[in-house]
Structure 1
Amino acid sequence: MKRILLVDDEENIQIVYREEFEDDGYEVISAMNGMEGLEKFSANRPDIVILDIQMPEMNGIEVLRKMKMLDPSVPVILSSAYQEFKRDLGSWASDAYIVKSGDISELKNAVGKLLGEER
């Protein structure tokens, strides 16, 4: 079973993404902020990370850099409600950038593609 680390400070997003991805057969590990995300990244070695950008204390761009230093082989999808972060040079280290919406099919497709799975 493929393991997804979901790092997002919005509880509603956590609930929706967890239900959707668990229904698709993934194990989902959640973190509510960047520090917790880095701890769970090191402890659980996920197959892929879905990472919010706008978080308190440490933003997703900083978390992305640290994760890539720990293990550059783990794909990281940046997920934000804001399109403008796509132009931030720091976001270019991510493997995909998805703008949050009520329809998470684009996110699911990106996860499947990065994990080499046909959806």
Structure 2
Amino acid sequence: MKRILIADDEEALQRLYKEEFEDEGYEVLVAGNGNEVISLLEDPSHLPDLIVMDIRMPGMNGIDTLRIIKEKYPRIPVILCSAYSEFKQDFSVWASDDYVVKSSDLTELKEAVKKHLKE
């Protein structure tokens, strides 16, 4: 079973993503900020196959967290998510593998996850 790490500070979105991706057959871990992401990654038993991460989070934001992930865990794909579509043109500069604008319709996010997990 593929494991996805969802990093978002909004608990309602954490629950929505967790439920939707578990229904798709994934194991889902959840983190509320970048510090929690890094803590989870330091435990080899929690290493995800893919990370879906918000850009704006309290504490360590998504961009700073992304830099650490790509330095220490370059093989883990990271999909950045944000409600702000203006960030879309910057995702490749940040070394993110993909970018999805947050929406209540998770079709685009699910397609991006499948693409990066090669399913």
| Band the TM-score falls in, shorter-chain normalisation | over 0.9
Structure 1 residue ranges, 4+ long, deviating more than 3 angstroms after superposition: 87-92
Matched, 1:9 2:9: yes
Which residue pairs with 2:49 in the alignment?
A: 47
Q: How many residues align?
A: 117
Equivalents in 1 of 2:76, 2:98: separation in Å? 12
Amino acid at match of 1:113: K
| Gaps in structure 2 of 5+ consecutive residues | none
The question of whether the paired residues in 2 share the 8 Å contact of 1:61 and 1:91 is answered with no
Q: Is the alpha carbon distance of 1:105 and 1:97 closer, same or farther for their aligned partners in structure 2, counting shifts above 3 Å?
A: same
Deviation at 1:90, TM superposition (A): 7.2
| Gaps in structure 1 of 5+ consecutive residues | none
Q: Is the alpha carbon distance of 1:27 and 1:52 closer, same or farther for their aligned partners in structure 2, counting shifts above 3 Å?
A: same
Which residue pairs with 1:70 in the alignment?
A: 72
Amino acid at match of 1:46: P
Question: More displaced, 27-36 or 86-95?
Answer: 86-95
- TM alignment of 1:104-119, pairs within 5 A: 104-117=106-119
Deviation at 1:86, TM superposition (A): 2.2
Task: Choose from 86, 89, 99 the match for 1:87.
Answer: 89
Question: More displaced, 90-99 or 106-115?
Answer: 90-99
Deviation at 1:85, TM superposition (A): 1.8
Q: CA RMSD in A?
A: 1.3
The question of whether the paired residues in 1 share the 8 Å contact of 2:91 and 2:97 is answered with no
The question of whether the paired residues in 1 share the 8 Å contact of 2:55 and 2:80 is answered with yes
